[in-house]
């Protein structure tokens, strides 16, 4: 696997830089945000309005 580029992005909840972030929102009218796995779990557990919008990874493949 060739790696095209390595990028960095921080979690919008805890502000830590992570290799994998998840695009989510707490309800349909809330803005999308990128959060790490640690912040994602309490956000989605028990939340019927939670929406998943994809996974962002620091290493983009060619």
pTM here is 0.83
Domain with 23, as residue range(s), is: 3-61
* Pairwise CA distance, residues 50 & 9, whole Å: 22
How many domains, the chain? 1
Query: Residue 29 has what pLDDT?
Result: 94
CA-CA-CA-CA torsion for 34, 38, 43, 48, nearest 10 degrees?
Answer: 100
Query: Residue 2 has what pLDDT?
Result: 67
Q: In what helix (H) or strand (E) does residue 6 lie, and over which residues does it extend?
A: strand 3-6
- Sign of the CA dihedral with 61 first, then 1, 52, and 9 last: negative
List, for residues 12-59, the tens digit of each pLDDT value: 999 999 999 999 999 999 999 999 999 999 999 989 999 999 999 988
Query: Residue 60 has what pLDDT?
Result: 74
């Amino acid at each position: 696997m060739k790696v095209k580029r390595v990028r960095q992005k921080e979690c919008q909840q805890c502000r830590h830089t992570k290799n994998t972030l998840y695009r989510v929102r707490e309800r349909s009218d809330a803005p999308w945000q990128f959060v790490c796995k640690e912040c994602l779990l309490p956000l989605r557990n028990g939340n019927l309005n939670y929406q998943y919008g994809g996974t962002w990874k620091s290493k983009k493949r060619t």
